[in-house]
Structures are given as structure tokens and as C-alpha cells.
């Protein structure tokens, strides 16, 4: 047997390395993962935002997924399985965010549909009003066109009462004849 061979003492070194690896894994496995409080709070806030956006009406399936995963995350927190709770909280948050986006899209589509219906109604009212006005114009007689060369007609004033009085027996000559030649 060779005492100075490279493989000499191999079983002892292998046992030492295996023991060190097992000890490292045991210590790493015992290390605690901190509770995912931030992830849980974020998931809860995302769920509330989705509910506020109307996800129950426009994205009920996605909202249900988010709520289920949040409940699973809460159960994992109670069992002190913090890594699972963190993962489920992140999934719940993502599902809630998707539900919120779908709800906002659904609400925008509903508002757009409402505006389109209102525009159609107003357009029909305008067309009906225009048709009524056209019928009224056709039924009414057309006014006579005004002549641009004719002078406007004015009423003449009524004669005074002295002109309309009874005639005198002695008519007087016109004033222009009495002044001829400067004699009276």
C-alpha cells in the first residue's frame, strides 16, 4: 500500500466534506424568512383598488382569482410559511392589478357606448327638426319679392280742418295777384 498516494485518505476527506455540507444546509434551512408584510399590504391595497374601479362588474373572474390567492397567502402567513405567503401575495397583487385595468377598460367602453347612443339620439332629433322646418317652408306662401327700384310708399297727412270747412261766398283772389304792380 502507498501511503503518499493522492487517493490516500480519500474516505476521510469525503466524510468531512459531506459533514460540512450537511451542516451548512441545515443552518441555511433553519434560517427564517421574514414575514412578507409589505407584499401582503400591497396585495390588499391592489384588491381594494380593483373593487373601487368596478372589477366586480367588469372583471369578476380576475377579481375572484386575486381574492382567492390573497386568502391562500393569509393562510400561509398563519402557518408561518412566509415564502409561500410572499409568492401568493405577489400573485394576488398581479391578479388584482389586472382586474383593475380590465374594470377601467370596461367602464370606459360603457361610457363610450353611452355617448354614442346619445349622439345617435341627438342626430335623429336634428334630422326630424330639419324635416319639420322644410315641411313648414313648403306649406307657407312665399313672400313677394321686393323691388329695389320702387320708392317706398308713405302715407299722406290728413288735410287740416280749415281746408275741409264749408266754402265762403266771396272767394278771395290768390295772394300773388294782389301784389302786382305794387298797387293795392
What phi and psi values does residue 78 have, to the nearest 5 degrees? -65, -35
- Residue 135 has, within 13 A of its CA and on its CB side, a CA count of 6
Contact 89, 75 (CB under 8 A): no
Closest CA to 50 of 110, 107, 130, 121: 107
Domains of the chain are 35-138 (1.20.1270.390)
Torsion sign across C-alpha atoms 48, 50, 53, 56:
negative
Whether pTM exceeds 0.75? no
Question: Could you tell me the pLDDT band of residue 108, with boundaries at 50, 70 and 90?
Answer: very high
Measured between alpha carbons, how far is 71 from 69 in angstroms, rounded to an integer? 5
Mean local confidence (pLDDT), 10-17 = 64
DSSP labels, 146-172: PPSSSPPP-PPPPPPTTTTSPPPSSPP
What phi and psi values does residue 79 have, to the nearest 5 degrees? -85, 0
65-85: pLDDT as tens digits: 999 999 999 999 999 999 999
Amino acid at each position: 500500500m502507498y501511503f503518499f498516494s493522492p487517493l490516500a485518505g480519500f474516505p476521510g476527506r469525503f466524510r468531512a466534506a459531506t459533514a460540512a455540507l450537511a451542516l451548512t444546509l441545515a443552518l441555511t434551512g433553519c434560517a427564517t424568512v421574514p414575514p412578507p408584510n409589505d407584499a401582503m399590504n400591497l396585495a390588499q391595497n391592489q384588491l381594494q383598488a380593483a373593487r373601487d374601479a368596478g372589477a366586480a362588474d367588469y372583471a369578476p373572474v380576475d377579481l375572484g382569482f386575486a381574492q382567492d390567492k390573497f386568502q391562500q397567502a393569509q393562510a400561509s402567513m398563519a402557518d408561518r410559511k412566509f415564502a409561500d405567503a410572499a409568492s401568493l401575495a405577489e400573485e394576488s397583487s398581479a391578479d388584482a392589478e389586472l382586474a383593475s385595468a380590465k374594470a377601467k377598460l370596461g367602464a370606459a367602453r360603457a361610457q363610450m357606448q353611452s355617448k354614442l347612443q346619445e349622439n345617435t339620439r341627438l342626430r335623429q332629433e336634428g334630422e326630424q327638426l330639419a324635416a319639420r322646418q322644410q315641411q313648414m317652408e313648403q306649406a307657407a306662401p312665399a313672400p313677394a319679392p321686393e323691388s329695389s327700384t320702387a320708392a317706398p310708399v308713405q302715407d299722406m297727412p290728413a288735410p287740416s280742418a280749415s281746408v275741409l270747412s264749408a266754402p265762403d261766398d266771396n272767394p278771395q283772389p290768390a295772394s300773388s295777384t294782389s301784389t302786382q304792380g305794387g298797387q293795392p
